[in-house]
Amino acid sequence: MFDPSPPQACSIDALSMSLQMRDQYTRFHCDRVELLGDQLGRLCDLDDAQRTHLTLAARFHDIGKIGIPDNVLLHPARLDDEQRAIMRTHPERGERIFAATGRPDADEVARLIRAHHEAVDGSGYPDGLKGNDIPLGARVLTIVDSYDAMTTARPYRGAMPHAKAMGILAGLQGGQVDPDVFAQFVRLMDGQP
């Protein structure tokens, strides 16, 4: 008798394949962010369920880019204001896509995906959340996403050295970046227990 995989597993596999086929950079970026996010989540004392939500959100935080037109997603230079506005819709698109998986934890994961560009000072998007109104998993995701984006080559610039990326993130504390989560990220990067 044929016993197919659970529908949620199929949905996740389909999302992974979609992301990979859409844009190789985004797929590998998400893989790296997932690994860093899990490590940082441990240092931030997230429990097993929260870390599972975080790693899924990290893996699919950019899934909403599937709906971004090529002339924006693959643009070989910095985006203009109109293009940036389009790109900024990807967290909401990603939230809707992940929520459609039907997983029991879809809402929790989708919430982190939506919030991964929020900033602790309220200047982020899409909702302008501030401080602890941003889920801790999303504050972790903001840091590891930013770090990986800076330290890998993009179509419009080369990879940034580790020390420079860490300096930029340090300067964003209290603005885009949660200072307490950043302190744990420094521990992670320094290999401290």
Residue pLDDT, tens place only, 144-167? 999 999 999 876 778 999 999 999
d(CA 67, CA 143): 24
What is the residue whose two structure tokens read 């401290």?
192
How buried is 5 (Cβ within 10 angstroms: 0-12 exposed, 13-18 middle, 19+ buried)?
Answer: exposed
- Please count the other Cβ atoms lying within 10 Å of the Cβ belonging to residue 4: 7
Confidence of residue 75 (pLDDT cuts 50, 70, 90): confident
